[in-house]
Structure 1
Amino acid sequence: MSEIKVALVTGASRGAGAGIARALGAHGMTVYVTGRTVEPGDAKAWDGSVLPGTVAETAAAVTAAGGKGIAVLCDHSDDERVAAVFEQIRREQGRLDLLVNNATYMHPQLIEQKPFWQKDISACEILNVGLRSAYIASWHAAQMMVEQGRGLIAFGSSFGASCYMHGPAYGAQKAGLDKFAHDMAVDLRGSGVNTLSVWMGPLKTERAAVASKVNPAQYEAFSKTAESPEFTGHILYALATSNQAEALSGHTVIGAELARELGVTDEGSVRPSYRETLGEPPKPNPAVVY
């Protein structure tokens, strides 16, 4: 069983990232949280309303939960700024035990029921902040973690990697994260550093609350069994401190299923998997070609 003390959660001003950070704080961790929002009003919901949440508020919530939250303003489309985040962590902590790649560009037309060519072309920005940005953060994290001989690099993915969900750009980003976990695990084999991609279910986030009003028929059923934003954080902590992380390295898992294996509940409830309706993760391919 491993001890983990320091984490970085990207894109943590609100939503899943903020929830994961709070959960890790509840386990006593020092959690660096990155995001672009420093003042409420910078982010908008699907109906144009202002979304709450800032990186400073998330950091304060981490500390209030029992950990130590450290807010770092960072635009993950800026490689130099991302590098500075890792330099800060190395300078201040000398270690990094867990990276959670969560930062993602949320296009305002993401949940509109239109074909991709009828949406603005900027929707593909999720392949920059969401896919490419996860590669850059993982590149920096791997260097620190390999040096210390331990660590976990996690990717926040979804069933959209398998089924049609929010259009091709969103799906490609999620499928790409799964492949990152798979292929990075091959390169990291034997280093003590593991990877994992987690399919989260519907979440009780600020954006989801608005989505349920914008498209009530589509979101009403899911919202009844939706996961808390903290759920994935508790799962990752349980995995990282268990003896199963190495065996699962490179895998894509359904968070609700892994939670059952690890004995993790969400606000006292067992969450559904959605495997039968939305699809199942790809199985690791043992072939390696250089």
Structure 2
Amino acid sequence: MKDVIALVTGGSRGIGRGIALALLAEGVTVHVTGRTRFEAEANQAGSAGSLEGLELEAAKLPGRLFVHRCDHASDADNERLTEAIRAGGRLDILVNNAWPGYENMVEDGEFTWPKPFWEQPARRWEAMIGTALRGAFMMSRAVAPLMISARRGLIVNISFWAAQLYEGNAIYGIAKAAADKMAADFAHELRPHNVAAIALYPGLVRTEAVLENAEYFDMSNSESPQFIGHVIGGLWRDPALMSKSGRVQIAAALAREYGIADVDGYRPVPLTAADFVRDAGPSAGPTELQDS
């Protein structure tokens, strides 16, 4: 993977950080975006993770890391990022992961995430649709010509079961369903150019936010943040990648197909829609906590 170049959006913490570290461990050159540049900023905001912290972890890995301070709600930031990526002349893998949708889940002491859609704050729509979904579209739009020119590429939208099942928040479901549809339609238009696009579902990921609330989760089948990154590496190496393009893929199922274990040697059990239907009930919040 030492000749592969990837871009991971939203990688200062959570799943995005794990994906970046996994790809770096496989020798990939990885560009990572994030809003939090320095650890001091993260500490001041009371959050975990920064691009600076990622750089420290990446220093001992074989891949090369390039960090970009970028707020994907800003067209100016997106354009600067696009220019930097295009200047390199090539991009093999794009992971659309940036997700501010879990911010401000508590407002004035009230947990507003599970409120019905008519009581949802408009800013939550803007975070999930106006920033996360639009950012995924704009980044894909910007780098697709590089992949088309190379006659090879992979676009991954990090999504989740909320696209297919009710997960406690209507806007969340709309955003994830749109991410799946975006990947499917991108795949249709990119197929003649041998470029793949998929929607990839993680399981319960041990992000910083999940670990802080571990007592509320069954962690027995959880995944490290790096796990899905190694699965993306497996996708890139898969000679049958184009047969998977346009379809929803479950990270744990792909890992079993590719013979990939998690960093601790555990092999997560792939979840299905039936697992969520069986456990259906009032949702306290999203179960994968992308946290990026």
Normalised by the length of structure 1, the TM-score is 0.86
- Seq. identity, %: 34
Secondary structure at 1:197 match in 2 = strand
> 1:225 corresponds to which residue?
221
Q: Structure 2: how far apart are the matches of 1:151 and 1:39?
A: 31
Instruction: Establish whether residue 193 from structure 1 lines up as the match of residue 187 from structure 2.
Output: no
Q: 1:130 to 1:4 in 2, by over 3 A?
A: farther
Residue 103 of structure 1 is aligned with which of 78, 98, 104?
98
Does the aligned pair in 1 maintain the 2:6–2:31 contact within 8 Å? yes
Residue 266 of structure 2 is aligned with which of 258, 266, 269?
269
Q: 1:212 to 1:126 in 2, by over 3 A?
A: same
> 1:288 corresponds to which residue?
none
Uncovered stretches (5+) of structure 2, i.e. residues with no partner? 278-292
> 2:134 corresponds to which residue?
132
Instruction: Tell me the amino acid that sits aligned with residue 85 of structure 1.
Output: L
Instruction: Establish whether residue 208 from structure 1 lines up as the match of residue 210 from structure 2.
Output: yes
> 1:177 corresponds to which residue?
179
Following superposition, the deviation at residue 82 of structure 1 comes to 1.4
Deviation per CA, 1:184-215: give whole Å up to 9, x if none. 011111202111110111110011123435xx
Q: 1:71 to 1:19 in 2, by over 3 A?
A: same
Following superposition, the deviation at residue 224 of structure 1 comes to 2.2
Number of equivalenced pairs: 268
Alignment of 1:9-20 (within 5 A): 9-20=8-19
Q: Structure 1: how far apart are the matches of 2:45 and 2:35?
A: 18
When the two chains are superposed, the root-mean-square deviation of aligned CA atoms in Å is 2.2
Following superposition, the deviation at residue 3 of structure 1 comes to 7.6
Does the aligned pair in 1 maintain the 2:3–2:29 contact within 8 Å? no
> 1:285 corresponds to which residue?
none
Following superposition, the deviation at residue 61 of structure 1 comes to 2.3
Uncovered stretches (5+) of structure 1, i.e. residues with no partner? 280-290
Q: Structure 2: how far apart are the matches of 1:167 and 1:4?
A: 41
Deviation per CA, 1:83-135: give whole Å up to 9, x if none. 221221232x3210100000011232177443344443211121122211100
Secondary structure at 1:13 match in 2 = coil
Deviation per CA, 1:205-238: give whole Å up to 9, x if none. 011123435xx2xx2x2x2211110111100111
> 2:250 corresponds to which residue?
254
